[in-house]
Amino acid sequence: MVGVNRQPLIAGNWKMNLDHLQAVAFVQKLDWSLKDAKHDAGTVEVAVFPPFTDLRTVQILLDQDKIEFALGAQDLSTHDSGAYTGEISGAFLKKLNASYVIIGHSERRDYHAETDEVVAAKVQAALKHGLVPVICVGETLEQREQSGPTAVSVGQLEVALEGVAAGAEIVVAYEPVWAIGTGQVASPEQAQEVCAALRAVVADKLGQDAADRTRILYGGSVKSGNIASFMREPDVDGALVGGASLLVDEFAAIIRYQKHVGV
Cβ at position 47, least distance to ligand PGA in Å: 12
Buried b (16+ CB within 10 A) or exposed e, 36-69: eeebeeeebbbbbbbbeebbebbbebbeeeebeb
Q: Which one of the spans 25-33, 55-63, 189-197, 219-227 is the region binding ligand PGA (CB under 6 A)?
A: 219-227
Catalytic residue among 105, 114, 129, 139: 105
Is 189 part of the annotated catalytic residue set? no
* Interaction of residue 236 with ligand PGA, rule CB under 6 A: no
Q: Which of 241, 248, 253, 255 binds ligand PGA (CB under 6 A)?
A: 241
Q: Which of 100, 243, 251, 253 binds ligand PGA (CB under 6 A)?
A: 243
* Interaction of residue 219 with ligand PGA, rule CB under 6 A: yes
Tell me if 64 sits within 8 A of 97, measured CB to CB.
Answer: no
Q: Mask 105-144, x = binds ligand PGA (CB under 6 A)? A: ----------------------------------------
* Interaction of residue 198 with ligand PGA, rule CB under 6 A: no
**Number of chain residues interacting with ligand PGA (CB under 6 A):** 13
* Interaction of residue 72 with ligand PGA, rule CB under 6 A: no
> How many Cα atoms occupy the beta-carbon half-sphere of 125 within 13 Å?
24
Cβ at position 103, least distance to ligand PGA in Å: 12
Tell me if 48 sits within 8 A of 28, measured CB to CB.
Answer: no
Angle at the Cα of 239 from the Cα atoms of 52 and 67, rounded to 5 degrees: 55
Is 79 part of the annotated catalytic residue set? no
Work out whether the CA dihedral 65, 70, 75, 81 comes out positive or negative: positive
* Interaction of residue 153 with ligand PGA, rule CB under 6 A: no
Q: How many CB atoms lie within 10 A of CB 163?
A: 12
**Identity of the residue, 173 or 197, whose beta carbon is nearer to ligand PGA in the bound complex:** 173
Q: Which of 171, 180, 198, 227 binds ligand PGA (CB under 6 A)?
A: 180
* Interaction of residue 220 with ligand PGA, rule CB under 6 A: yes
Measure CA 162 to chain center.
Answer: 20
Q: How far apart are CA 46 and CA 30, in angstroms?
A: 11
* Interaction of residue 181 with ligand PGA, rule CB under 6 A: yes
Q: How far apart are CA 68 and CA 70, in angstroms?
A: 7
- Angle of helix 248-255 relative to helix 20-36, nearest 10 degrees, comes to 50
Catalytic residue among 45, 114, 139, 175: 175
* Interaction of residue 50 with ligand PGA, rule CB under 6 A: no
- Angle of helix 151-160 relative to helix 188-206, nearest 10 degrees, comes to 30
Which residues carry out catalysis?
Answer: 105, 175
What residues make contact with ligand PGA under the rule CB under 6 A?
Answer: 13, 175, 180-181, 219-222, 240-244
